[in-house]
């Protein structure tokens, strides 16, 4: 057997003259087949309308949520700015108080209140050896 498919021969109609019989005749017109579409079923618009409404409601809910979060953030930001301004004022007050306490006049009066006396001579102290290395006049 060969692997080539078999060709089916077309039956010859008695009404159709054979091509081998005589002069060339025009072939008979063929009938054209047309596909017939199935009747369309009536579709409901309800699922489409419900889907559209759900999408719109979801979008509106997300916008509302985002807007609420932004408003909360704005209030928190305002409160933090007020707190920062207050902390800057406190820092400025503490720096000025520190500067006033480190002034020479204040240090001298605080030393007198503690019973300290001015040093007669200046010197260097070695912490490692626990001794005075140099005494000045």
At 126 the pLDDT is: 85
Please check whether residue 16 is in contact with residue 27, taking contact to mean a CB–CB distance below 8 angstroms.
no
Q: How confident is the model at residue 23 (pLDDT cuts 50, 70, 90)?
A: low
Give the mean pLDDT of 99-121. Answer: 88
Q: pLDDT tens across 84-107, in order?
A: 999 999 999 999 999 998 898 899
Q: How confident is the model at residue 37 (pLDDT cuts 50, 70, 90)?
A: confident
- Mean pLDDT is highest, among 26-40, 89-103, 108-122, for 89-103
Residues 68, 70, 75: CA angle, nearest 5 degrees:
95
Average predicted confidence (pLDDT) for the chain: 83
> Within 13 Å and on the Cβ side, how many CA atoms surround 70?
6
Closest Cα partner for 15 from 30, 28, 33? 28
Q: How confident is the model at residue 27 (pLDDT cuts 50, 70, 90)?
A: confident
CA 108 – CA 114 distance, rounded (Å): 10
* Cα 19 to Cα 8, 23, 51, 133, distances in angstroms: 18, 8, 65, 138
Residue 12 in this model has a pLDDT that exceeds 60: no
* Radius of gyration in angstroms for the set of CA atoms belonging to the chain, rounded to a whole number: 54
Helix (H, G, I), strand (E, B) or coil at 88: helix
CA 134 – CA 54 distance, rounded (Å): 90
């Amino acid at each position: 057997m060969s692997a080539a498919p078999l060709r089916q021969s077309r039956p010859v109609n008695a009404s159709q003259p054979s091509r081998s019989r005589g002069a060339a005749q025009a072939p008979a017109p063929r009938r054209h087949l047309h596909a017939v579409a199935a009747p369309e079923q009536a579709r409901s618009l309800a699922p489409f309308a419900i889907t559209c409404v759900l999408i719109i409601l979801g979008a509106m809910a997300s916008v509302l949520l985002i807007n609420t979060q932004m408003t909360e953030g704005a209030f928190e930001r305002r409160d933090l700015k007020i707190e920062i301004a207050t902390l800057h004022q406190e820092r400025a007050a503490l720096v000025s108080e520190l500067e006033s306490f480190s002034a020479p006049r204040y240090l001298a009066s605080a030393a007198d209140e503690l019973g300290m006396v001015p040093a007669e001579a200046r010197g260097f102290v070695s912490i490692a050896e626990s001794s005075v290395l140099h005494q000045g006049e």
